[in-house]
C-alpha cells in the first residue's frame, strides 16, 4: 500500500481528496492536517466520511515521511515551505495555484507578487493528464489545476490538438460556476440569502486562471468572464472562438471523438433528443468526467465549445488523484470510478 499524507485537509479540496484516497484500493491515508480543526475527527468536518474513518486532524508540524504528499493549502503558502515538504515525500501533488505557472514573470503578472521559490517552478508538471500524460508518468512534482482553467482547457483541447482554431481571433470564454468554487470559508456574498438564486458576473476580465489557459493552450488573445450561479458543485465553460476557413461540422466530430477516445475521462455529449443533449455539470457531482459539446455557425466560422466538470473533481482533487495514479504507474482511473448521479 502507498502511504499518503494531506497537508490542509479541512477545506473542500482536502475533503474530496480524503473521500477519494480513503476508498482507493492502493492507498492508505497516513496523516491529514488542519490547524483550525486540530484534534477533531475528519468526519466532524466532512460528514460524508462518518463511519468511513477514525482519522483525526493533526498539526502540520507532526507530519512524518510518506510516499506521496498532497498539499491542499490556501494559495501562496506551499511555495514558502516546499523544501520542507520535499523532505517528507518523494512525490508531491500541490493543489494550490503556487506551482501551476512555468515562469516567474507570469506568476508575478497574474498574482501580483514575487514567487517565493522560483527555482521550483520548472520542476513541477502541470497536473492535467489530458495535456501531460507522458510527463506525469515520470514526474515527482505535480501542480494542481485551476478549475476554470481546466474547463476552458478541455473545451479547447480538441480544437487546438486538431489545429482547427484561427488563433489570430479573440477567444472569449464564459464560465458559470457553483458556490463551492470559492472554498469552505464563507464571505458576505456567500451567505445563503445573498448567494441563492444569483446570476452574478463577478469578474468580466482578468481572472487568474486565464494564465493557465494562455500557458497550456498557447493562445494569447483569451478572455475569461466568470459568472456565479445557483449550484454547489460544477463549472461550465462556454468557449466562443473562430475556426480556420473550411472547417466543417464533421471535422469537429472527428476532433472531439478523438479526444474522448484517447482520454478515459472525456466524453462527447451531443444528442438530438432527450433531456441531456449538451454537457451539464449537475450530473457530474463527485465524478471525474469532463463532458464536451460543440456547435458551429458555418457562415461566421464561429464555434461554441462547451466543457462541464465538477470543479472539486476534474477541476481539483480528481485530477490530482489521476496524476498520482500516473506517477505511481497505476491504472489512471483507479479510485475514480464513481460515475455521478441522476437525478440530482
**Which residues, 291 to 310, sit near a second copy by CB under 8 A?**
291, 293, 295, 297, 300, 302, 304, 306, 308
51 touching a second copy, by CB under 8 A? yes
CB of 253 to a second copy, least distance (A): 15
How many residues lie near a second copy (CB under 8 A)?
Answer: 92
Binder among 1, 134, 276, 331 for a second copy (CB under 8 A): 276
Name the one range near a second copy by CB under 8 A: 50-58, 131-139, 244-252, 319-327: 50-58
| For a second copy, the closer CB: 72 or 327 | 72
Query: Rounded to whole angstroms, what are the CA distances from 324 to 8, 9, 19, 175, 330?
Result: 17, 17, 15, 28, 8
Count CB atoms within 10 A of the CB of residue 192.
9
Name the one range near a second copy by CB under 8 A: 78-86, 120-128, 270-278, 324-332: 270-278
Binder among 287, 288, 317, 325 for a second copy (CB under 8 A): 287
String of DSSP letters for 124-166: EEPS-HHHHHHHHHT-SEEE---HHHHHHHHHHHHHHHTT-B-
| For a second copy, the closer CB: 214 or 232 | 232
Residue 11 and residue 17: Cα distance in Å, rounded? 10
Residues in 217-236 that interact with a second copy by CB under 8 A: 221, 223, 225, 227, 229-234, 236
The three grid cell numbers given for residue 213, joined into one nine-digit string = 489557459
CA angle 329, 332, 335 (to 5 degrees): 110
CB of 225 to a second copy, least distance (A): 6
| For a second copy, the closer CB: 139 or 156 | 156
Distance of CA 315 to the CA centre of its chain: 2
CB 44 within 8 A of CB 67: no
- The residues annotated as belonging to the active site are 147
Residue 252 and residue 161: Cα distance in Å, rounded? 11
Residues in 155-214 that interact with a second copy by CB under 8 A: 170, 172, 174, 176, 178-180, 184-202, 204-206
Amino acid at each position: 500500500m502507498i502511504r499518503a499524507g494531506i497537508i490542509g485537509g479541512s477545506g473542500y479540496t482536502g475533503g474530496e481528496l480524503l473521500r477519494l484516497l480513503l476508498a482507493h484500493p492502493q492507498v492508505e491515508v497516513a496523516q491529514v492536517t488542519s490547524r483550525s480543526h486540530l484534534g477533531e475527527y475528519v468526519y466532524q468536518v466532512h460528514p460524508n466520511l462518518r463511519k468511513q474513518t477514525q482519522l483525526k486532524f493533526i498539526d502540520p508540524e507532526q507530519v512524518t515521511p510518506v510516499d506521496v504528499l498532497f498539499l491542499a493549502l490556501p494559495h501562496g503558502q506551499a511555495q514558502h515551505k516546499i523544501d520542507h515538504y520535499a523532505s517528507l515525500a518523494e512525490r508531491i501533488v500541490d493543489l494550490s495555484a503556487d506551482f501551476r505557472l512555468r515562469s516567474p514573470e507570469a506568476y508575478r503578472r497574474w498574482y501580483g507578487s514575487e514567487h517565493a521559490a522560483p527555482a521550483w517552478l520548472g520542476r513541477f508538471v502541470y497536473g492535467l493528464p489530458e495535456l501531460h500524460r507522458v510527463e506525469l508518468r515520470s514526474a515527482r512534482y505535480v501542480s494542481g489545476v485551476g478549475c476554470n482553467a481546466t474547463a476552458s482547457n478541455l473545451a479547447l483541447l480538441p480544437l487546438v490538438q486538431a489545429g482547427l482554431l484561427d488563433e489570430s481571433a479573440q477567444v472569449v470564454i464564459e464560465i458559470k460556476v457553483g458556490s463551492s468554487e470559492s472554498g469552505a470559508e464563507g464571505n458576505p456574498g456567500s451567505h445563503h440569502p445573498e448567494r441563492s438564486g444569483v446570476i452574478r458576473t463577478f469578474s468580466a476580465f482578468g481572472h487568474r486562471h486565464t494564465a493557465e489557459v494562455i500557458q497550456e493552450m498557447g493562445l494569447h488573445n483569451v478572455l475569461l468572464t466568470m459568472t456565479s450561479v445557483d449550484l454547489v458543485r460544477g463549472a461550465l465553460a462556454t468557449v466562443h472562438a473562430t475556426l480556420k476557413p473550411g472547417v466543417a461540422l464533421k471535422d469537429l466530430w472527428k476532433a472531439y471523438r478523438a479526444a474522448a477516445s484517447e482520454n478515459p475521462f472525456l466524453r462527447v455529449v451531443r444528442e438530438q433528443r432527450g433531456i441531456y443533449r449538451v454537457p451539464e455539470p449537475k450530473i457530474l457531482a463527485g465524478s471525474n468526467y469532463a463532458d464536451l459539446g460543440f456547435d458551429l455557425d458555418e457562415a461566421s466560422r464561429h464555434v461554441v465549445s462547451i466543457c462541464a466538470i465538477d470543479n472539486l473533481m476534474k477541476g481539483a482533487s480528481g485530477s490530482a488523484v489521476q496524476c498520482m495514479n500516473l506517477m505511481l504507474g497505476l491504472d489512471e482511473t483507479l479510485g475514480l470510478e464513481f460515475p455521478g448521479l441522476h437525478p440530482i
